[in-house]
Amino acid sequence: MKAVAWLKENLFNGWFNSLLTLVTGWLLFVVTKGVLVWAFEEGRWSVVPENMRLLMTGSYPPEQVWRLWTVVAIILFSGGLQYAVRAQGRPPWWMWAGVLVAFAVSFPVVFPATRFFLLVAMLSLPVGIVVGANVSRRWVDWAALLALVAVFLLLWGNTDRLGGFAFTLMLTVLASVFAFPLGLLLALGRTGKWPVFRTLSILYIELIRGVPLITVLFLSYYMVPLFLPASWEVPTLFSIVVGFSMFAAAYLAEYVRGGIQGVHKGQYEAAWALGLSGSQSARYIILPQAIRSVIPALIGQLIAIFKDTSLVYILGLFDLLFMAITVARNPKYLGTEREVLLFIAFVYFVGAALMSYASRRLERAMGLGSR
């Protein structure tokens, strides 16, 4: 009955609105009819499950895939801890249901060992939220540091054959982890009183923001090895992470600078009255308020990093887009470009939607966006 009442109130609350609703519905049907017929009758969707391992991990050795699943579980568990501490929330019911549904759907299309790893990885997020709601923030911060070290140890020396969604995910996580502290330092440098640091921060931010991302990626891809000893074998993932981190940090710095400038002058005066030093004022008074006010922009930049990882396809790196195109060019699967590209579009959409949802929950928990 609520649905009927909503329809009457919003779509059929007058002859003109009703006519507009019917015409719009007819146009949508005409436009999407061909797509729906193709999707349900002509689409060769078997190309996705038959190449799932290639799309997810590329040519990564099967006997080493446990490393990737462990990294994913660590990242999701650590993300759950951070979410619980900052949003003061518990995992919603649909998260537990989603684990069961995803496990059931994947049952006929993945190997038994993969089913086990998938279940553990997906449970890591809600379990991390539960644990984070019952421990102190200090322990959560230490857990984040340990998680970063564990990820490096698991991936070190095993990234050259990493590809597919695993490469995209690792690139997104590592670039975000390094870009955020660098962006904070740049924001503090640009708003600080030290002329040298302020000038260097301004030059860096304006220079990076004035150069296309793909140019920064090319430069990092070819120039990062020049700054290291010739005997070192620099993983390609490391070089690309440097480029993404440098680029994203410039934008994050501007978002944080806007938040810092939005903090009322009285907050600075209160910090001085309490006898806090400049670093203590920034850490305990200014930055928490500044970051709190720009959370939507920060999450938007993280989503942009996640989507922009597809640009490494131009460099010939084995990300999700590259593996999708490789599958579509296989003689056995010629003509399946639409199916494969729609699948990776769905993957990107789900990832961006989850980050957006976490952002909205965090904003509500912190009292943002409400009066």
Question: 64-106: per-residue pLDDT in tens?
Answer: 888 888 888 888 888 888 777 766 666 666 666 767 776 666 6
More reliable by pLDDT, 308 or 288: 308
Question: 262-283: per-residue pLDDT in tens?
Answer: 888 888 778 788 787 777 787 7
Query: Of the ranges 74-78, 116-120, 257-261, which one carries the lowest mean pLDDT score?
Result: 116-120
Contacts of 366 (CB under 8 A, 6+ apart): 86, 87, 292, 295
Q: Helix or strand or coil: residue 14?
A: coil
pTM equals: 0.80
Contacts of 370 (CB under 8 A, 6+ apart): 364
Question: 182-226: per-residue pLDDT in tens?
Answer: 999 999 888 888 888 889 999 999 999 999 999 999 988 888 888
Q: How many residues does the chain have?
A: 371
| Predicted local distance difference test score (pLDDT) of residue 231 | 72
Contacts of 178 (CB under 8 A, 6+ apart): 241, 245, 249
Query: Of the ranges 4-13, 48-57, 239-248, which one carries the lowest mean pLDDT score?
Result: 4-13
